[in-house]
Amino acid sequence: MKILIIGDVNVGKTSLINRYVNGQFNKTCKTTVGVDFSLKTLHWSDKERVKLHLWDIAGQERFISMTRVYYKGALGCMVIFDITDSRSFLNCRLWKQDLDLKTLLPNGQPLPCILVANKCDLSQRAVSADSIDMFSKANGFVSWVETSVKENRNVGEAMRRLVQEILSGQPSPDPVLPALENLIIHESEQEQPRARCC
């Protein structure tokens, strides 16, 4: 399942992925150039796993018009901002517009997209919960969540919520959509170790 992580420069996209995938946080993180990829297997339930392909798109990429290529085939998206930086918050509208302009699910619906208010460990907040709530509804986000990648608050919850939205996507007569079901790997279907020959 391909998931996009987008938002302005310095909001914490790479840090969030690093926390989610490796359980680590670095105070100094190099700015991303282009795009990075990470893989994570999410244990969805006792018997089901979901393989996540996380695409970490550099904040600068909104100006470079390569995003259409990066967005291709994605099933969900996180748009992240820094809660101490109101410009990064307002720019989430531009990210969402860019996404909606260039992507559609196989059933013709827009991609489920969650708004993530990061760095909530910092005291100098520039955006209130009420404005985030209004903004989230006005711009068609499925929901929003406050995170601190630094203190590991709500990172896993945000991803789970997004995956839940993706998996509960509207049923459609489109023959491509049943493929959504195939995103879940049942434990009993795990690859058995193969007898090696030669």
Ligand X SMILES: Nc1nc2c(ncn2[C@@H]2O[C@H](COP(=O)(O)OP(=O)(O)OP(=O)(O)O)[C@@H](O)[C@H]2O)c(=O)[nH]1
**Positions that interact with ligand X (CB under 6 A):** 9-15, 26-29, 31-32, 58-59, 118-119, 121-122, 148-150
Closer residue to ligand X, CB minimum distance, 158 or 167: 158
Given Mg ion, ligand X, none, residue 9, with its beta carbon under 5 to 8 Å by kind, binds: ligand X
Residues pairing with 113 in the sheet: 77
Interatomic CA distance for residues 142 and 165, integer angstroms: 8
Closest CA to 71 of 96, 107, 92, 88: 96
Which of Mg ion, ligand X, none does residue 161 bind (CB under 5 to 8 Å by kind)? Answer: none
Which does residue 27 touch among ligand X, Mg ion, none (CB within 5 to 8 A, set by kind)? ligand X
**In whole angstroms, what is the distance from residue 134 CA to residue 125 CA?**
17
* Contact with Mg ion (CB under 5 A) among 8, 16, 32, 141: 32
CA dist 3 → 53, 59, 86 (Å): 6, 16, 25
Q: Which does 11 bind (CB under 5 to 8 A by kind): Mg ion, ligand X, none?
A: ligand X
Residue 13 is classified by DSSP as H
Which residues, at least 6 apart from 18, have a Cβ–Cβ distance to it below 8 Å?
Answer: 24, 25, 26, 29
> Shortest distance, CB of residue 65 to ligand X, whole angstroms?
16
Q: Measured from the CB atom, is 28 or 192 closer to ligand X?
A: 28
56/98 with CB nearer Mg ion: 56
What are the residues binding Mg ion (CB under 5 A)? Answer: 13-14, 32
